[in-house]
Structure 1
Amino acid sequence: MAGPRFYFSLRSPYSWLAYRRLLGEYRDIAEQVEWVPFWEPDEASSAMLEQRRAKFPYSAMSRAKHLYVLQDVGRLCKREGLALRWPIDRAPVWEVPHLAYLVALRHGCGPGYIAAAYRARWEQGRDICDRETVADIARELGFDPGAAAGAGDDPELRLQGAAILEQICTDGVFGVPFFVHARSRFWGLDRLDEFAAHLRERAAPAPAMPVSVGAAVGLGVGSDDGHAGGCG
């Protein structure tokens, strides 16, 4: 069974807020989930997905929803006491920052890269699809800025990215933040609490069951060789 996964996007303000809550309130959950980047594919990535017979489960938001998000995120940030600077995306190619994350992972800088990219986008209002911004983040973290800035041109990283996008399709991730464990799905910042409770509940040891003398007679390897829940 695949482990729990947190689909995050460097583009999404809700994903940024979920990231902050994970590290601030659910450090144990943050450490046990697989962090999987989510981004809207460009033309090249879309073609690779098509070759894999996968259809990306995401559609662009309407203008009305976009205006709502601006208002809603502003409210949430005010409540949390966060200084928000809305970035301006100029012809964004989301492979640029998200494939650069894969470079950061190779250098053991994955968490630091996410933190720096979110800070650049949502606290400094920078364009993280600008290759120079990505290069600056790599320099700050001490790994190859050229490899980070050019991640979208690397054929191997493109293939790795296509595999991630295919996993997104398989898991039915239609937005972020999105949390997956086995067959359970949780979408949105307001489902983080439920996801955390879900994982903690499954990690907790089962309570000891009192066994009567009569019932103990029939116990043995052959009585219930199923899963730990005992209901096979």
Structure 2
Amino acid sequence: MPRVKKPPRWYFSLRSPYSWFAYLDLTQRYPEVADSLEWIPFWEPDRTTQAMLDEAGVVLPIVEMSRAKNFYILQDLARISKARGLRMTVPIDKDPNWEVSHLAYLAAKAQGLGPQFVDAVYRARWQEGRDITDPATMGEIAGQLGLPAESLATAADDPELRKQGFDCLVSSYDDGLFGVPFFVHGRDKFWGADRLRPFIAAFQGRPGEDVEENWQDHDEFPLFASAAADAGHAGGCG
């Protein structure tokens, strides 16, 4: 039987500032494309999900970040946020469980509120400095979305959502993901927030030559709403 053609998709992580930058560009500049994509979360699994991945022979490309890379990313975030007129926080993640927020996304998605959830969680993390690995934070965001608090606060305890999350991570493995944000269109793959425009060109069926010629034109970036928070410390910069 012929293989089923997969839809264009993007992999994002709620812990990743570069995924956040890509999300802002994607939804504010190309909302019609954002609405046409499959949104798939990616995160560092906890021991339970890791055991499921081990049993399936799935090895995710997760390595410990070096101190030098961590400091580089802090500098990079300062440059990018300044260029975009955006003030952001960089929270410290102490023994985080990323299932809490990423499985909550799947719960919100099931209610037709996936993009709204992502927007609220990115704002909470990168502009309000809140802990998105705290179930209480998920409960508060559920209230903002008009959902019962427990529907998101307890998502990590739901076996069905756990299985859906496992399937998301297996999908990332099958697609050859090695970092986020990661965009896939047919056989073409695009890694990084700065590869969004070439991905958009592929999605729209346009030749990429004119896009590649000036893909670093930051003057075209939108200016995002500022938050009354200062840049913080290292942590969660994958």
Does TM, normalized by the shorter one, top 0.5?
Answer: yes
- SS state at 1:32 partner: coil
CA RMSD of aligned residues (A): 1.3
**Residue matched to 1:166:** 170
AA of the residue aligned to 1:132: A
Q: Say which SS state the counterpart of residue 130 (structure 2) adopts.
A: coil
Counterpart of 1:112 in structure 2 is 116
Task: Quote the offset at 1:147 in angstroms.
Answer: 2.2
Residue 75 of structure 1 corresponds to 79
CA distances 1:144-185 after superposition (whole Å, capped 9, x unpaired): 211211111111111111111111111111111100112111
Q: Which residue does 2:157 correspond to in 1? A: 153
- The aligned runs of 1:170-209 (5 Å cut-off) are 170-201=174-205
Query: Aligned partners of 1:149, 1:88: CA distance in 2, in Å?
Result: 21
Greater relative contact order, per chain length (Cα 8 Å cut-off, separation 6+) = 2
SS of equivalent residue, structure 2 residue 35: helix
Rounded to whole Å, the distance in 1 between the matches of 2:27 and 2:158 is 31
Maintained 8 Å contact 1:57/1:172: no
Query: Do structure 1's residue 93 and structure 2's residue 97 form an aligned pair?
Result: yes
Taking the aligned partners of 1:34 and 1:109, their CA distance within structure 2 comes to 14
In the alignment, what sits opposite 2:107? Answer: 103
What residue identity is the alignment partner of 1:68? Y
In structure 2, the partner of 1:60 is 64
Give aligned-pair identity as a percent. Answer: 52
Find 1:124's aligned residue among 118, 128, 132.
128
Whether the 8 Å CA contact 1:10–1:118 is kept in 2: the answer is yes
Q: Deviation at 1:202?
A: 6.3
- For residues 126-147 of structure 1, what are the alpha-carbon distances to aligned partners after superposition, in whole Å with 9 as ceiling and x for unaligned? 1100111111000111112112
Distance 1:34 1:108 in 2: 13
Q: Does 1:22 align with 2:26?
A: yes
How many residue pairs get aligned? The number is 203
Amino acid at match of 1:45: T
Amino acid at match of 1:47: A
| Structure 1 stretches of 4+ moved >4 Å | none
SS in 2 for 1:162: helix
**Counterpart residue type for residue 158 of structure 2:** D
The residue that corresponds to 1:7 in the other structure is 11
Aligned-pair distance for 1:62? 1.3
Query: What TM-score results when the alignment is normalised by the length of structure 2?
Result: 0.83
1:82 match: secondary structure: coil
Partner of 1:134: 138
The AA in structure 2 aligned to 1:46 is Q
State the AA in 2 paired with 1:71. Q
In 1, the alpha carbon distance for the partners of 2:128 and 2:205 equals 38
Deviations 1:79-133 (A, max 9, x none): 1111101212121000000000011012111111000000000000111001111
Query: Which runs of 5 or more structure 2 residues have no equivalent in the other structure?
Result: 208-238
Q: TM-score, normalised by structure 1?
A: 0.85
Q: Which of 36, 43, 50 is matched with 1:32 structurally?
A: 36
